[in-house]
């Protein structure tokens, strides 16, 4: 339709010249368009790992790589300074790196930083491995690898023959199994990226480490760069394998965009700290305990329920020893029982001991940054014992006080005689009129001591006057 209108408006020769011009210029215009999938040219994402590697770290890295892929960035710089961390989180990060459509360059920086234990595995898995001068990597021997009890860590389907330990290797069968699994895993990563697999095996079996210059000489890393700008210049033009295809890096003069952790990652980092999880669990248990003891208060129950759910969420992300968790719950129950059934400290001391032992073995790992400090455990147990002791002390004091309600509170209290009649007397006691019988004759305005109660009639004795055993007449209830 448009072509017919154009033909009607333009003479034939002019139409032919216009179409010929469009056909000649179309290839040049298409070539000038940016390549699809790369978005803004010359942009690099920087994700920082600073401290122990845990569930929050894995979430932060995953979000950073997704952001880079969505915005079409050319490279992701994973800047690391870590002592290691949880095996499950490390493997999650490595899976994310291997599946990333954007090349990843792991960079151990700044000077004085390290990529120990789990950081070494991540460095081997990255497309580009770089270190700043004065940094080191290694010491990758697994301490408590495999994650929570009952879970099985993923392992390569065909471990290299060199990864098999001799039958006479020291250590238990479980330790040899863990080391062999770790060796096979890191050798597979080294072969994937063309790096020194023999040294990687030594880092696992012998816990050896290397400084930056030696790591470069032994083909453990690809380059040494003093800063990010130097790193971008050195990797510019390098070809890497990304998901089975070759990608040429174009990073010279690229703009570096830091990827900051959002509020969810920061909250997850706080919750998954073992000490915070243990404290939240204690607050949750005590909150529910006080709510059940005093129904209707509301605040302890609401706060306790929230804290307990947060603690359970954090513990399901951490490698928890369920025997330790059981001891912690038993200890809290025993300390609470001391307040209800005082046993001269036996239940309270036993509860504090069970709580302390359970807290020590609660987290089933020795990964750096994920142990619970002994001083924190002792302090928490002592505070719990003091709180329960204070509650028990207040309960005992209340037990020794005089009863202020009921029939027991009537005995010994005073009443004022209001009037007498043929059936006895009327007295005023605590603002109430009572029918009363006296052990002696009563007079209006006289003070009398209450001896007891029979039905709705008080038994009283006058405080002055004739105290003979003559009793006033009066009906019985």
Q: Work out the percent of the chain whose per-residue pLDDT is above 90.
A: 30
DSSP states along 141-177 = --SSTT-STT------SS--GGGPPPTT-SS-HHHHH
Exposed e or buried b per residue across 380-396, where buried means at least 16 C-beta atoms within 10 angstroms of its C-beta: bbeebbeebbebbeeee
Do 111 and 133 form a contact (C-beta atoms < 8 A)? yes
Exposed e or buried b per residue across 240-253, where buried means at least 16 C-beta atoms within 10 angstroms of its C-beta: bebeeeebebbbee
Do 46 and 256 form a contact (C-beta atoms < 8 A)? yes
Same domain, 252 and 380: no
Q: Tell me how far apart the alpha carbons of residues 140 and 124 are, in angstroms, rounded to a whole number.
A: 12
pLDDT reported for residue 169 = 47
Domain span at residue 423?
406-462
Banded pLDDT at 367 (limits 50, 70, 90) = low
Tokens at residue 221, please?
A: 């890393």
Rg (the chain; Cα; Å):
40
Same domain, 288 and 212: no
CATH of the domain at 222: 3.90.226.10
13-27, 200-214, 365-379, 412-426: least confident range: 13-27
Same domain, 48 and 101: yes
Same domain, 387 and 241: no
In-domain check, residue 20: no
Q: Kindly report whether the global pTM for this prediction surpasses the value 0.95.
A: no
pLDDT at 4 over 90: no
Same domain, 390 and 416: no
Do 319 and 363 form a contact (C-beta atoms < 8 A)? yes
Same domain, 103 and 139: yes
CATH of the domain at 410: 2.40.50.140
Same domain, 345 and 331: yes
Q: Reduced to 3 states, what is the DSSP secondary structure of residue 23?
A: helix
Do 465 and 441 form a contact (C-beta atoms < 8 A)? yes
Same domain, 447 and 379: no
Average pLDDT, the chain: 79
Q: What is the DSSP letter of 403?
A: P
For residue range 104-156, list pLDDT tens digits in order: 999 999 999 999 989 999 999 999 999 999 999 998 887 643 343 333 433 43
* Total tally of structural domains belonging to the chain: 3
Same domain, 166 and 81: yes
In-domain check, residue 243: yes
Residues in the chain: 477
Same domain, 207 and 312: no
Residue showing tokens 């234990």: 117
Same domain, 279 and 175: no
Q: Tell me how far apart the alpha carbons of residues 475 and 462 are, in angstroms, rounded to a whole number.
A: 19
In-domain check, residue 476: no
């Amino acid at each position: 339709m448009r072509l017919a209108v154009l033909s009607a408006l333009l003479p034939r020769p002019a139409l032919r010249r216009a179409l010929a011009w469009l056909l000649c210029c179309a290839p040049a215009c298409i070539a000038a368009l940016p390549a699809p999938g790369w978005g803004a040219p010359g942009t690099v994402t920087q994700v920082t790992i600073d401290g122990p590697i845990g569930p929050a770290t894995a979430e932060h890295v995953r979000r950073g790589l997704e952001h880079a892929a969505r915005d079409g960035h050319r490279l992701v710089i994973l800047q690391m300074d870590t002592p290691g961390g949880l095996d499950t989180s490390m493997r999650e990060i490595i899976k994310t790196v291997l599946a990333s459509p954007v090349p990843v360059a792991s960079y151990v920086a700044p000077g004085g930083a390290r990529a120990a234990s789990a950081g070494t595995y991540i460095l081997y898995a990255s497309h580009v491995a770089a270190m700043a001068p004065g940094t080191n990597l290694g010491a990758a021997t697994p301490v408590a690898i495999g994650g929570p009890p009952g879970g099985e860590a993923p392992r390569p389907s065909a471990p290299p023959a060199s990864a098999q330990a001799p039958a006479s290797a020291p250590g238990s069968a479980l330790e040899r199994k863990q080391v062999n699994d770790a060796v096979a895993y890191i050798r597979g990563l080294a072969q994937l990226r063309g790096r020194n697999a023999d040294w990687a095996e030594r880092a696992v079996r012998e816990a050896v480490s290397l400084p930056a210059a030696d790591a470069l000489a032994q083909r453990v890393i690809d380059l040494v760069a003093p800063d990010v700008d130097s790193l971008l210049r050195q990797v510019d033009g390098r070809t890497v394998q990304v998901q089975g295809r070759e990608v040429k890096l174009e990073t010279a003069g690229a703009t570096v965009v830091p990827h900051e952790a959002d509020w969810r990652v920061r909250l997850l980092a706080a919750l998954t700290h073992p000490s915070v999880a243990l404290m939240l669990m204690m607050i949750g248990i005590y909150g529910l305990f006080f709510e059940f003891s005093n129904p209707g208060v509301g605040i302890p129950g609401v706060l306790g329920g929230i804290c307990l759910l947060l603690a359970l969420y954090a513990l399901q992300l951490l490698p928890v020893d369920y025997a330790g968790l059981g001891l912690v719950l038993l200890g809290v129950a025993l300390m609470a029982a001391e307040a209800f059934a005082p046993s001269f400290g036996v239940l309270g001391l036993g509860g504090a001991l069970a709580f302390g032992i359970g807290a020590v073995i609660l987290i089933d790992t020795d990964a750096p940054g994920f142990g619970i400090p002994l001083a924190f455990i002792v302090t928490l147990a002592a505070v719990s014992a003091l709180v329960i002791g204070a509650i028990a002390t207040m309960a005992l004091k209340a037990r020794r006080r005089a009863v202020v309600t009921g029939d027991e509170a009537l005995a010994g209290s005073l009443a004022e005689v209001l009037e007498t009649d043929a059936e006895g007397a009327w007295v005023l006691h605590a603002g109430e009129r009572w029918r009363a019988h006296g052990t002696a004759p009563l007079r209006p305005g006289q003070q009398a001591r209450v001896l007891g109660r029979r039905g709705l009639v008080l038994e009283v004795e006058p405080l002055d006057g004739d105290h003979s055993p003559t009793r006033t007449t009066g009906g019985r209830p």
